[in-house]
Amino acid sequence: MTADAVQSVLKRLMERVGESPDLSLMTPCKAMRNALPKAADHALDLPLIVSDVSLKSHTREMLLSKLEDNRLYMLIQSTDDRLGIAIPDAALLASLIEIQTIGDVSPNPPIARRPTRTDASLVEPFLDAVLAEFVHQLAGKEELPRFLGFSYSRVIEDQRHLPLVLPEDDYACFEIAVGLGKVAKPASLILAYPSLRVDTKASEDVGPSKKWTTKLEAGVMGAEVEIDVTLHTFTMPLDEVPNLVVGYEIILPRMSVNTLKVKGSDGSVVAQGSLGQSNGFRAVKISGGEGAKTAQSKSSMAQMNGSPLEAMGPVDGPIPVTATDAVLPMDTGVPKDFSDMSPPDEVDEPDDGLGDFPAMDDFPSMGDLPPMDNLPPMGDLPDLDFEMDVSPIQID
């Protein structure tokens, strides 16, 4: 090769060094493939090899049909309130926990269990790093607005709630296969992004946002919920529990039928009520809920703040229970107000046999006392010449 040919080749190489990369070659799949290893290294110092990345368009029903039981369902939300979902498999979840607890990824297969909120908090740093790095890799592309501004939002513990949370939409679904750690432990991840929201000013009544809100409200309000009514709660020794068989009698307080507790599926008390009947069936009448708790809380705060009149409530409210009301049993016939009662009738007292005292009309007169003008004078009292030692007295 001549010197001129060598100079020509070197010149072409130097010109290519200064050229910027062709962004038209960057696709969402390639951007995701580049983002995953960088995000894992930056967030957790975790070696990650991408085996495969595919991008498909799925409806909500198609996306939900691909879900498996006992997975961690992590909602991702954009700055314009669009919702997507990230679903790591059990191997990815176990690897992310291992790298943060023992510092390495184990080759052992993951243990089948139901994920928790704590698991979601351990996956969150990796997930947010992937979402941010993916946007950075896709910068300048026309597809960028659809994937922009997403981060982890919250976890959905029950798979049955996903149809109520995820809107009907066409989702860009990434199906990702990776190898984690030095052992290249196989794992997978699903990332589903919703479509880009189109801001139209046609009509607010037929807008997609209002339709979605209406459908969500109808779905939530029409859903069946399970509530429990607790008649009485008591404790008993552990050795008596085996005696709880059919026919075992439990003594209930007399007022327990008026102090029922209505509880939600999580065991929290949502209302109070009393037991009764309606149309021949047993029924519970709600007598208090959050409003009663709020009123009670306000009354307690008023007492603490030194406002007894405010704590007593309005003047035209119910009369508070007095000590007389507390000691009188129910339905005894004894009235609570004695102001309208007439005095008792007079009755003849029994004869004690002593009779009346005799008349004393013939008692002789005692007359007047004699004059006392001739009494001798008493004179002055003598001086009291003596000393008194007065000492202080200590009182214990």
Amino acid at 229: V
The alpha helices in the chain, defined as continuous H runs, are 3-17, 28-44, 60-65, 90-101, 117-137, 144-147, 162-165, 208-221, 290-304, 308-311, 323-327
Which whole-number Å values give the CA distances from 111 to 64, 87, 228, 272, in the listed order? 24, 17, 34, 43
In whole angstroms, give the CA distance from residue 176 to residue 174: 6
Closest of 154, 153, 156, 136 to residue 144, by C-alpha: 136
**Residues 244 and 204 sit within 8 Å (Cβ to Cβ):** no
Closest of 163, 131, 209, 195 to residue 67, by C-alpha: 163
The pTM score is 0.48
- CA 203 to chain centroid, in Å, comes to 38
**Residues 153 and 77 sit within 8 Å (Cβ to Cβ):** yes
Q: What tokens does 116 get? A: 């928790």
- Rounded mean pLDDT for each run of 10 residues along the chain, 396 residues in total: 55 51 75 96 95 95 88 94 95 95 93 92 96 94 93 92 92 96 95 82 56 72 76 82 82 72 79 76 73 43 43 43 43 55 61 65 69 72 60 53
**Residues 179 and 48 sit within 8 Å (Cβ to Cβ):** yes
pLDDT of residue 306: 45
Beta strands in the chain (DSSP E): 48-59, 73-77, 83-88, 151-156, 170-180, 185-193, 228-230, 260-263, 269-278, 281-288
Q: Which residue is associated with the tokens 């008993």?
A: 236
Which whole-number Å values give the CA distances from 1 to 4, 6, 16, 188, 210, in the listed order? 8, 7, 21, 52, 73
Amino acid at 217: E
Which residues neighbour 310 within 8 Å (Cβ) at sequence distance 6 or greater?
A: 302
Closest of 272, 268, 271 to residue 258, by C-alpha: 272
Closest of 155, 171, 146, 222 to residue 65, by C-alpha: 171
